Amino acid sequence: MTHTTLAALTLAVLLAGCSGSEDKPLAAAQPITDGDSCHVCGMLIGELPGPKGQAYLNRDDAVRKFCSTTDMFAFLLQPENENRLSHAWVHDVAVTPWSRPADDAFILASEAWYVAGHDQRGAMGHTLASFRERHHAEAFSETHGGKVLAFGDIDLELLTELARADASMQHNGGMPGHAGHGSGMNGH
């Protein structure tokens, strides 16, 4: 049993004990396989760098996989999905390589800390760097720039700003706010 599966089962048992209801346990994060494509953009997930996301909606046991945390949030923040989220998973990039995050590094998205506006490239551009511990997010921000945010701080306005910054970066040939850093993968 992987660490992620054990954590998910433990959390589900604790939540069920507190609520006193017959809620079923949280579905665990699923491995990213070679043929998995992003629910939003259709890109093959395993070929792209940076943290990925997965989401489960209410009344549906199917997992939706995303090539980036940004694509996951773009999906979750759509009006038809906002109130349907059961739970979501993201990679903790403090414990897994940025270039190819491991399946055993998934954490609950709602409990993660995110860094937006950093100098690392993810799937198709900017992505939100995700971390289990705030101090890891802060250390990443000190090294790579950006702002530390909680799950509830991420909205469509922020995603639009990130997309505009990506467009500006592509036009100007560098990361916004990080002149001279380039867009190379330093791995984390």
pLDDT tens readout for residues 143-170: 999 999 999 999 999 999 998 987 776 6
Mean pLDDT of 43-64: 93
pLDDT band at 6 (very low <50, low <70, confident <90, very high): very low
The chain-wide mean pLDDT, for the chain, equals 83
- C-alpha closest to that of 93 among 144, 167, 56: 144
- C-alpha closest to that of 183 among 66, 90, 72, 49: 49
* Confidence (pLDDT) at 171: 56
At residue 59, φ and ψ (nearest 5 deg) are: 65, 15
Consecutive H or E run containing 75: helix 69-76
pLDDT band at 11 (very low <50, low <70, confident <90, very high): very low
- What is the model's pTM? 0.78
Report CA-CA distances (Å) from 16 to 10, 106, 111, 177: 10, 21, 18, 45
At residue 64, φ and ψ (nearest 5 deg) are: -110, 120
